Amino acid sequence: MLSRRLFLAGSAAGSLVLRAGAARAEAVMTDDGFYREPWFLESFLELADDLTAASKNKKRFAVMWELRGCPYCRETHLINFAKPEIASYIKERFEILQLNIIGSREVTDFDGEKLTEKAFAQKYGVRGVPVFQFFPESVAGLAQKAPREREVVRGQGYIEPQPFLDMFRFVAERAYEKGEVLRLPQSGKFSQP
C-alpha cells in the first residue's frame, strides 16, 4: 500500500520526468519551508573547505541568506533563478551555500570558530534577507580579517533580474579588484527577521 508521502514523492518524480526536456529544474520547496535550487551546494558547513573546493572547480563561493516565509527570497527563486540565462550563468561560475538567518545548524567560519547559522549571521552583520555574500577566490589571509572585510561584495534585499545577474557578473569578472563599484538599484524589498 502506498503512503501519501510516497505517492506524492512518486508524483513529483514523475512530473520531473515529464519535464526532462525543460531548460532547467525548478526550485523545490524543502520540508523546512525553504525554496532550494537543485544545483545549490551540499555542504558540511565548513566554509574554508567550501571556498577551497569552489576554487578548485574554478567557481566562486557565495552564501545566500534566507528566512522561511520570506516573500523576497521566494521571488529570488521563482523569478530570478527561474530565468535560464541567470541560472545557467550562476550555476557554471558559482557555488551557492544557502543559510537560514535564524538557523541552528553549526557552521565553521573561515577563522575556525564554530557557531550556529544565527550567530554566524550576527557576526557578519546580516540583518535581513535575502542577502548574498561573495568571498574571494582563496582562503589565504581570511582568518585574520574582520568578518565584513572577508567579503568582496554583498547584495542585500530583493534585486530585479538584470541587476541581479549584473551582480554575479561583477564578482565573476573580479571588477571589484579593478576599483569598479557595483551600483545596485534599491528595490525597497528587504525582509527583516
Ranges of each domain in the chain: 25-178
Instruction: Spell out a b/e string for 122-139, using b for 16 or more CB atoms within 10 Å of the CB, else e.
Output: ebbebebbbbbbbbbbeb
How far is Cα 2 from Cα 10, in angstroms, rounded to an integer? 10
- Rounded to whole angstroms, the Cα distance separating 158 from 189 reads 5
Mean pLDDT computed over 175-180: 92
Strand partners, 46: 108
DSSP helix/strand/coil, 92: helix
State the cell numbers at 98: 544557502
The per-residue pLDDT for 186 is 64
**Residue from 77, 66, 37 nearest 128 by CA:** 66
Digit-coded pLDDT (tens) for 165-174? 999 999 999 9
Task: Give residue 23's pLDDT band: very low, low, confident or very high (50, 70, 90).
Answer: very low
The pLDDT > 90 percentage for the chain reads 75
What is the arithmetic mean of pLDDT over 58-79?
Answer: 97
CATH superfamily, with its number, for domain 25-178: Glutaredoxin (3.40.30.10)
Predicted local confidence at residue 16, as pLDDT: 38
- The answer, yes or no, to whether residue 2 has pLDDT greater than 60, is no
Q: Is 89 exposed, middle or buried (0-12, 13-18, 19+ CB in 10 A)?
A: middle
Q: What is the 3-state secondary structure (H, E, C) of 21-76?
A: CCCCCCCEECCCCCEECCCCCCCCCEHHHHHHHHHHCCCEEEEEEECCCCHHHHHH
Q: What is the Cα–Cα distance from 69 to 136, expressed in whole angstroms?
A: 30
C-alpha cell at 53: 573546493
Distance of CA 49 to the CA centre of its chain: 16
